[in-house]
Amino acid sequence: MTAVAEPAGPARGAARRPHPGKVTQTRVLTSEWIKFRSLRSSYWSLLVGCGAMIGLGLLFSMVITSKWDTMSPLRRRDFDAITVPLRGYFLGQLAVGVLGVMVVTGEYSTGMIRASLSAVPKRLPVLWAKATVFAVAVWLTTTATAFVCFFIGQGFFSGKHIQADLSTPGALRVVIGTGLYLTVVGLLGVGLGTVIRSTAGAIAALFATLLVLPVLGEVLNFTSWGDKVNPYLPSNAGQALLAVHTEASGQMRPWPGFALFAGYAVAVLAVAAYLLKRRDA
């Protein structure tokens, strides 16, 4: 629209002001970071998730150390100094998953999504920015927490000379992998939240995928299908990265397993992007 033929108002020139305020992916990232850091639920979820990881790691390490002297040789053989202190990831994934869902569904339940999408009508930059901000925040905090858990555990174990260190084969991979696995769990939550748009529905779908599918998969173990399906279920594949030995257990190899898990998340995010773009807000 250039100078309109309509009677122009007194305070307005004929020419339109140039607009420097282009929407860019970087600016949308900044916006999503402001949104993330300005909600208490972000801090609470991360605090609960990381707290549970540390708490559970502490508990396992402490109990095993105190019972070590009276433990049967069989149980001693099953003990793994690398994975035991990190067992808390199982609780951590609940908190991280819920946060990932809420980052999106919180906008739908409050109506904020309409403000977000009016500001960024191309829409997809909002999804990418949300996913990025969330992934970086979760990855940094959970990776740091994984290292803390690892070292706490080794502190206990060193009293019995059963500790591992980061140079133990598989140790660094499992510690780093814990943060990566949890980040992808969260991204799965972001994707499902965008697809389903309701908090309860998306959380149910996420936990059904991560927790219920593997249990249902166990039924297949009574048939010849077990080996063909179970290793490739999302959480089974992703958790291959968190195991020191995968050969005997029939799991996928660690990195291919994780790549498949990440692939599932990418697929869900792709569906989310398609629906976000198409649907009415």
Partner 1 sequence: MIEARSLTKRYGAKAAVTDLSFTVRPGVVTGFLGPNGAGKSTTMRMILGLDRPTSGTVTVNGADYAAHSAPLHEVGALLEAKAIHTGRTAYNHLLALAATTGIPRSRVDEVIDLVGLREVARKRAGGFSLGMGQRLGIASALLGDPDTLILDEPVNGLDPEGILWIRNLLKDLAAEGRTVFVSSHLMSEMALTAEHLIVIGQGRLIADTSVAEFISRASSGSVKVRSPQAAELRELLAGPDVTVSSADEGTLTVEGLSSDRIGVIAAENRITLFELAPKEASLEEAFMELTGDAVEYRAPGQKPGAGAGSPTGTGAAGTAAQTDTDVEVTA
Residues 76-115 that bind partner 1 (CB under 8 A): 106-107, 110-115
Q: Is 220 in the site for partner 1 (CB under 8 A)?
A: no
DSSP 8-state assignment for residue 162: -
Q: Is 1 in the site for partner 1 (CB under 8 A)?
A: yes
Q: How far is the CB of 55 from partner 1 (least distance, A)?
A: 26
Write the single-letter amino acid at 75: R
- Contact region with partner 1 (CB under 8 A), list: 34-42, 76-84, 171-179, 221-229: 34-42
Q: Is 47 in the site for partner 1 (CB under 8 A)?
A: no
Among 16, 76, 160, 253, binds partner 1 (CB under 8 A): 16
Alpha-carbon distance of 80 to 145, in angstroms, equals 19
Q: Is 168 in the site for partner 1 (CB under 8 A)?
A: no
Residues 6+ apart with CB under 8 A from 197: 104, 105, 108
Q: Is 20 in the site for partner 1 (CB under 8 A)?
A: yes
90-100 in b/e form (b: 16+ CB < 10 A) is ebbbbbbbbbb
Q: How far is the CB of 144 from partner 1 (least distance, A)?
A: 25
Q: Is 21 in the site for partner 1 (CB under 8 A)?
A: yes
Among 121, 159, 250, 263, binds partner 1 (CB under 8 A): 121
Among residues 22, 49, 39, which one has the least CA distance to residue 130? 39
Q: Is 30 in the site for partner 1 (CB under 8 A)?
A: yes
Contact 142, 53 (CB under 8 A): yes
Q: Is 73 in the site for partner 1 (CB under 8 A)?
A: no
Residues 6+ apart with CB under 8 A from 149: 53, 54, 57, 58, 85, 86, 88, 178
Q: Is 202 in the site for partner 1 (CB under 8 A)?
A: no
Residues 6+ apart with CB under 8 A from 178: 86, 89, 142, 143, 146, 149, 242
Among 28, 202, 233, 262, binds partner 1 (CB under 8 A): 28
Kindly determine how many residues on this chain lie close enough to bind partner 1 according to the rule CB under 8 A. Answer: 43
Name the site residues for partner 1 (rule: CB under 8 A). 1, 4, 6-12, 16, 19-23, 27-28, 30-32, 34-35, 38-41, 106-107, 110-115, 117-122, 278, 280-281
